[in-house]
Structure 1
């Protein structure tokens, strides 16, 4: 089995994964809340949040207050929904679709049988996963994404559930942002630490 590539991109450190998990679990969050939950310094939290915003995973907004005082900065997960959409994520989805169309014109055999909307979803998903250090292999028939070998295989076993949940939520956000029938369903139980397969499914409305 090939060795896993190092994790890279905006969620390459477990501290950022932890912050993203907290924001995904409940939005919005403040810097003070994130400091209390992680034990990290405010400046460190700010640096991590900036990377996550630049990656399109978190949205920053200003609190609306009816009382005196400086409004707080709030941080929410970018889920791809209309009210939780990141401009960075939108641009990435559009760019992935353009590159995918170019590739399919040059190599028609790479086109998916799932339809244009699902194809664009897969374009965005593949690019997002590659940015994070994965080597995704898509099975259109079984609707699976094989991410073996997982770049996070060497993580502590107690950290794996959070890592898997964060990545599954990110994948669902990318698919939602791209718009189409595919959803990220669950991560299959691995037989060995380096193994990772994500199950997709067609949304009930599409079926």
Structure 2
């Protein structure tokens, strides 16, 4: 079975939907339609792709009154995505195998816990699926994504893409479980230069 790729966010409409869900979780299809002017069927299709990729979770509303319960959608960082948890577990297993086969790749001198190392495994895998070639510095707790494939995007779109990617990275770390979190992007006047700072 092949792993789902970041094609789940290759559509700018899906990026916009993710941004809305990162800003405020537990939104309905109707709310997302109003916010994006997309047809309900299009929104549902995009949401399903995001759920399949492990970036969005859906839950049925608990109602105390009559009426059909609504389905509420949130970014995976606001809930538990079984897909994202499975992807993180598989990435950790691959990372452990690589460290056993090639022990020189194990940066044991960074004093990172096993949970933190597994978080970085999940993050590296997810970014690799996105088309990035991440360079992780476990000592400095940075992830260099240079060159950024979105550097040539319209500046307004690039800002939204950066926010969504940071949110996705935060979600991957949260779903993997461990002490690491996204602190932010290192300042740079060059949009092609992208380094993300992590913190314990």
SS of 1:145's equivalent in the other structure is strand
Cα distance in structure 1, aligned partners of 2:162 and 2:92: 26
What corresponds to 1:205 in structure 2?
none
**Does 2:90 correspond to 1:92?**
no
CA contact (8 A) 2:135 2:145 kept: yes
Cα distance in structure 1, aligned partners of 2:22 and 2:137: 28
User: How many Å apart are 1:159 and its aligned residue?
Assistant: 1.6
What corresponds to 1:77 in structure 2?
75
CA contact (8 A) 1:188 1:198 kept: yes
Cα distance in structure 2, aligned partners of 1:74 and 1:15: 18
- Segments of 5+ residues of structure 2 without an aligned counterpart are none
What corresponds to 1:124 in structure 2?
122
SS of 1:10's equivalent in the other structure is helix
What corresponds to 2:179 in structure 1?
181
Normalising by the residue count of structure 1, what TM-score does the alignment of the two structures yield? 0.88
Normalising by the residue count of structure 2, what TM-score does the alignment of the two structures yield? 0.91
Dislocated runs of 4+, deviation >6 Å:
none
Cα distance in structure 1, aligned partners of 2:115 and 2:25: 29
Cα distance in structure 1, aligned partners of 2:148 and 2:62: 41
User: How many Å apart are 1:49 and its aligned residue?
Assistant: 0.3
What corresponds to 1:51 in structure 2?
49
Partner of residue 102 from structure 1, selected from 97, 106, 112: 97
What corresponds to 2:140 in structure 1?
142
SS of 1:27's equivalent in the other structure is coil
SS of 1:61's equivalent in the other structure is strand
Cα distance in structure 1, aligned partners of 2:149 and 2:134: 11
- Higher share in helix: 2
Over residues 165-185 of structure 1, what are the superposed CA-to-partner deviations in whole Å (9 max), with x where a residue is unaligned? 111111111112222221110
CA contact (8 A) 1:10 1:132 kept: no
Partner of residue 158 from structure 2, selected from 157, 160, 165: 160
Cα distance in structure 1, aligned partners of 2:186 and 2:160: 15
- Segments of 5+ residues of structure 1 without an aligned counterpart are 1-6, 203-207
